Amino acid sequence: MSTPDALLATARAGDEGAYRRLVEPHRRELQAHCYRMLGSLHDSEDALQDALLRAWRGLPRFEGRGALRPWLYKIATNSCLDAIAKRQKRVLPLDHGPPTDAAPGEPLVESVWIEPYPDEELSLDDGYATPEARYELRESVELAFVAALQHLPANQRAALILREVLGFSAQEVADTLDTSVASVNSALQRARRAIDARRPDQSQQATLRELGDERLRALVDRYMDAMQRGDVEAVVAMLAQDAAWSMPPMSTWYRGHDALRVFLANGPLSGQWQWRHMPAFVNGQAAVGAYTWWPEEHSYRPFALDVLTVNGEQIREVTSFIARSAEGLDPDELARFPTQPPDPVKVESIFLRCGLPSRLD
C-alpha cells in the first residue's frame, strides 16, 4: 500500500498517531477555511478541533473511495455551519454603526467583532486551489473580504468559499452541502452579487503588487515613525481624505481628516503614551504591532495590531485591533482612550503568532 493508504488503514484501526499524521498536512488550510466562515481566529480553532474530533469518530465509516481532503472539508464546513447557527455574526466597527466625532466609548463584547488572522497561520503553498478559484489565498483573508462574507447567509458563504476560494467543483460543493448543483449555482449567483457590492474595486493584493515591496516598506516605516514621534500632522498627511480608523472592541470609529486629527491629538498621540512599533503582515495586509511603555516593568508591552488598508501610497483605513480583553475596563479611562494595561497572556499569544516579540526593552 502507498503511504497515505497505509496511514489511513492504520488510523481506521484506531491508531491516533497515524490519524494525526494523516490530517496534519490539511490542518492550516482547514483552519483558514473555518476563519473565512466564522471571522474569528479563536472560533476557527474551536471549529477545527470539533471537526477533527468528528472526523476521528467517523473515520471507520470513511472507506477511502473519495479523497480525504473533500471529506475533511465537508466535516469542517458542517462544524462551522453549526457554530454560525448558535451565535451572532461578527462585523467590523464600520459595519456596526456610523462614524463619530466623540471620544471612544465602552467596548462591546469581543464576540461581536471580526478578529485578525496572522499570516503565519496561512498555508499559502498548499497548491490545492484550482484555476477555477476566483480569489487567491491571501486575498481571501483580507479584512474587507472576510467582513463581506459575514453578511452572507451561511450556505451562500460556504458555497462561495468552497467554489471560488478553494476551487472545488460545483458537484463537490453540492456533495459537501448535501444539496444539488442547481442549488449551488443559484446560491453562488446571489453570493457573488452581495460580495461584489461590499468589496472594494481592487483587492489589497493587487494594490500591494502595484506598490512594490520597497515602497510598501517605506510607507510602513513613515507610519511607525510618525506614530512613535506623536506627530499628528504627519500621520494625517499619510491618510486618504476619507480615511477611516476603528479600534475593535470599541464600536466608535472615525472618518476624514478633521475627525481623525482630533481623535489622534486627544487619544493615542496626546502625549500620555510612549510608543514603539514593529512591522508585520496580518490578513494578507501590511500591519504594525504597537507597543506601549510599562514603567513598572521597564519595557514596552503589546497593545494593538494596526492593520493597514492602503491605496497607492496613502492609507485608506486603519483597523487597530486592541489586543487584550475588554473586561474590567474603566469607562473614565476609555472616555479619553483605553489606557489600562493589556492582558499579557492574550496579547503575547496574538503577537507571537504574528511573528512579533512579546515585549521590547
Work out the mean pLDDT of the chain and round it to a whole number: 87
Q: Report pLDDT for 81.
A: 98
Q: Give per-residue pLDDT as tens, 122-173.
A: 865 544 555 567 788 889 999 999 999 999 999 999 999 999 999 999 999 9
pLDDT beyond 70 at 330: no
What is the fold of 1-87?
A: Rna Polymerase Sigma Factor; Chain: A (1.10.1740)
Looking at the chain, the domain(s) classified CATH 1.10.1740.10 span 1-87
Region of poorest pLDDT, from 184-188, 199-203, 293-297, 331-335: 331-335
Q: How far apart are CA 320 and CA 92, in angstroms?
A: 11
Q: How far apart are CA 233 and CA 287, in angstroms?
A: 21
197-200 CB contacts, 8 Å cutoff, 24+ apart:
198/144, 198/147, 198/148, 198/151, 199/144, 199/145, 199/148, 200/144
CATH class of 204-353: alpha beta
Q: Summarize the confidence of residues 181-199 as an average pLDDT.
A: 96
Q: Summarize the confidence of residues 1-13 as an average pLDDT.
A: 78
pLDDT beyond 90 at 326: no
Looking at the chain, the domain(s) classified CATH 3.10.450.50 span 204-353
Region of poorest pLDDT, from 75-79, 95-99, 184-188, 282-286: 95-99
**pTM value > 0.75:** yes
